[in-house]
Structure 1
């Protein structure tokens, strides 16, 4: 009993600081709190100081690191003295405030893109791409593939009118679609491709658009990466016997694009590609590697090895230079290629219980990224702690794809045939 009383009597002097504006700013004065308090307890204390009508969940940092244990355990682990007045920064907790109603598809949702704020793109095992303006509201259906869609991406160059969408499929082709957002009304518009991209010898696993350009790249089970032009060139001949129906249902000629460049080096399936800089492509493969490619020379300038077959790669974080990848184990790995002399990951997150199917950096944060897994969960991560900030468990089966949308939402698809949108996520 005496020991318990002694533990309970341990207190720490703290000051709560924040970069948040009114009404989330507390007076900067020293307060005394129990050393045994956890993050939830700290959040309750700050809420009592703020006297908000509705409690707000907060996260807390000491010396730039998030607290994920009791305050006393954290101080002991970091060797921080409890004798001085501690400065604790608080931020709004990163967690969804709202779950939108699901958008049901006819088959597994295998691809999603949330990079355009007005719409969400999905690709499905039924061979159709879909454009959603809001939960449950499908404005356009992109048709023509004869196999499951494996990847989908907005492919607009800066200032382009309308929306250009690229799809990749198990039918070995990519297709390019032009969509006029003004056409979307109460009914769903069916759109055919204006260009078919043929050249891969096996299923196409991934497509990504060039940043500030008019090209797309694709990764395939034939172990190659192809680079294509999205322009509707008048010099290209229409494909004999191939026509598309426009929105007025009149048949129009359909162009077939040729490969501009092929990047060769991977020895197994190229499972994911991203194009974060004008002339730089990143890829990952079932050969366990992440590679960085110079588009102009066609050579790879970086090789990172994970020891596992990889399904997904993305580039972002500090300086838009960190490489995140996941695959055939539950570990999300993050490398910093700017650090010379080492190919080891600088971060490894291991809270999933099955293969990782997707990872995506937040576009405006150095610290935040998400991962999706066959365990049915989406996890939101912050590089300042080894534990997930939040776990989204809205899917009833494997999660196959996920992305950020509008900066404060997560869009995802899975084997439950649903597009799910988790919104109201505060990224500080």
Structure 2
């Protein structure tokens, strides 16, 4: 019997207390216990599950947990983490546990006729997708398409819900490689057995090249668009002024009928980028952010049209989103595998405050979770969607539901991630306990 080895193992134990903000029955007893220092996240999760089961929960079902020490997620053995952070193991160590952020379910995919190039999950009632076949579609659930938006003559590169959440009549904007944007209106509450084909009430013309991205002002009064012509255009969204009626031929089965549509022009143009404006977001009433192939992120004053901030990163930028702490952090993906995050409130904003590099190809989409300061999702040409937490450098979860390049991704209903790609399908990964 190796008494010396056993004594050494006992002496190397760490006194810990598990705490949580989770509600019963997810609260473990607050007493301190001695545990081996070589435990990893899996071992700690097993331990907490055993504590919960022994605390009067005989029918307890195993729950995966993540662990925070001093506000940082543990992604190595406890011993290595304490050593790396210079944390003493002499006193009782307080470890907070939270639900592990990872999908619990993969819904059946929703198939399209071509690559899925755009997705918007900002309304909990439905998902909007844009496709290389020139159509946009509304999905109320996995495989349930309720509306098909017809009219574009080329790829629908971007889609955006315009009106405030919860409005009965929905207004959408789509941007296309046919150089136009289109505005659509429809009622989501009407009973539908088969997909309804609808046409835009307004066509927005003015860009000289493909329109790559569209974003709506929170009030819904305007949208902005980024284009391959290096400009950002601002457009009004109303359907009764600021446009000329044009006659559009609409083919019917037996005859031809004229349909009237409004045609709008840009109310202003933001000039400054020198290459394709790949992505735009409109997080505050008077502020637009843009990312470009000219390697820059720019912040624009809507009223004056002035470029207020330039951040250069030395790489072609493909996507941008603003969120996180105080809705102030700028996340952008690029033509390398790195997701960069800047905090413009700090001096020297040209240097990212975070860089995540687990992808192996272009980052095609990045989206902050609307209710979390820490969480965001990315999509990549490497075929993966990744979930991130700013409190650790490693992805929380890797979603591999696509068999080809992932071109777009978004959060939906707070606990799901929706994504589309070159495998022509919309995927829904659900049951993600972010909050």
Aligned residue number for residue 56 of structure 2: none
Aligned residue number for residue 424 of structure 2: 417
Please say if residues 75 and 82 of structure 1, whose CA atoms lie closer than 8 Å, have aligned partners that are also in contact: yes
Equivalent residue of 1:115, what SS?
Answer: coil
Q: How does 1:227-376 map to 2 (within 5 A)?
A: 227-234=234-241, 236-241=243-248, 251-376=258-383
Aligned-partner Cα distance in 1 for 2:39–2:8? 11
Aligned residue number for residue 14 of structure 1: 16
Aligned-partner Cα distance in 2 for 1:19–1:250? 62
Please say if residues 225 and 233 of structure 2, whose CA atoms lie closer than 8 Å, have aligned partners that are also in contact: yes
**Root-mean-square deviation (Å):** 1.8
Return the offset for 1:327.
Answer: 1.2
Aligned-partner Cα distance in 1 for 2:70–2:242? 60
Please say if residues 404 and 410 of structure 1, whose CA atoms lie closer than 8 Å, have aligned partners that are also in contact: yes
Q: Which deviates more, 71-80 or 155-164? A: 155-164
Please give the per-residue CA displacement for 1:172-219, whole angstroms capped at 9, x wherever unaligned.
Answer: 000111011123411110000000000000000000011123110000
Please say if residues 243 and 254 of structure 1, whose CA atoms lie closer than 8 Å, have aligned partners that are also in contact: no
Please say if residues 322 and 335 of structure 1, whose CA atoms lie closer than 8 Å, have aligned partners that are also in contact: yes
Aligned residue number for residue 219 of structure 1: 226
Aligned-partner Cα distance in 2 for 1:235–1:334? 38
Alignment partner of 1:88 is 2:131: no
Q: 1:234 to 1:22 in 2, by over 3 A?
A: same
Return the offset for 1:263.
Answer: 0.2
Please say if residues 292 and 318 of structure 2, whose CA atoms lie closer than 8 Å, have aligned partners that are also in contact: yes
Return the offset for 1:2.
Answer: 9.7
5+ residue gaps, structure 1: none
Alignment partner of 1:99 is 2:101: no
Please say if residues 408 and 427 of structure 1, whose CA atoms lie closer than 8 Å, have aligned partners that are also in contact: yes
Equivalent residue of 2:337, what SS?
Answer: strand
Aligned-partner Cα distance in 1 for 2:420–2:120? 10
Of 161, 164, 173, 2:171 maps to 164
Equivalent residue of 1:171, what SS?
Answer: coil
TM-score, length basis structure 1: 0.96
Aligned-partner Cα distance in 1 for 2:330–2:148? 33
TM-score, length basis structure 2: 0.95
Aligned-partner Cα distance in 1 for 2:276–2:5? 59
Please say if residues 375 and 399 of structure 1, whose CA atoms lie closer than 8 Å, have aligned partners that are also in contact: yes
Q: 1:33 to 1:168 in 2, by over 3 A?
A: same
Aligned-partner Cα distance in 1 for 2:5–2:293? 54
Of 30, 33, 48, 1:31 maps to 33
Aligned-partner Cα distance in 2 for 1:281–1:182? 32
Please say if residues 157 and 214 of structure 1, whose CA atoms lie closer than 8 Å, have aligned partners that are also in contact: no
Aligned-partner Cα distance in 2 for 1:174–1:184? 28
Q: 1:37 to 1:389 in 2, by over 3 A?
A: same
Q: 1:300 to 1:168 in 2, by over 3 A?
A: same
Aligned-partner Cα distance in 1 for 2:283–2:250? 34
Aligned-partner Cα distance in 2 for 1:17–1:159? 37
Please say if residues 337 and 358 of structure 2, whose CA atoms lie closer than 8 Å, have aligned partners that are also in contact: yes
Return the offset for 1:229.
Answer: 0.6
Q: 1:350 to 1:180 in 2, by over 3 A?
A: same
Equivalent pairs, count: 425
Q: 1:345 to 1:174 in 2, by over 3 A?
A: same
Q: 1:7 to 1:282 in 2, by over 3 A?
A: farther
Aligned-partner Cα distance in 2 for 1:326–1:235? 35
Equivalent residue of 1:391, what SS?
Answer: strand
Alignment partner of 1:137 is 2:144: yes
Return the offset for 1:259.
Answer: 0.3
Q: 1:288 to 1:49 in 2, by over 3 A?
A: same
Aligned-partner Cα distance in 1 for 2:239–2:321? 29
Aligned-partner Cα distance in 1 for 2:175–2:408? 14
Return the offset for 1:236.
Answer: 2.9
Please say if residues 401 and 414 of structure 1, whose CA atoms lie closer than 8 Å, have aligned partners that are also in contact: yes
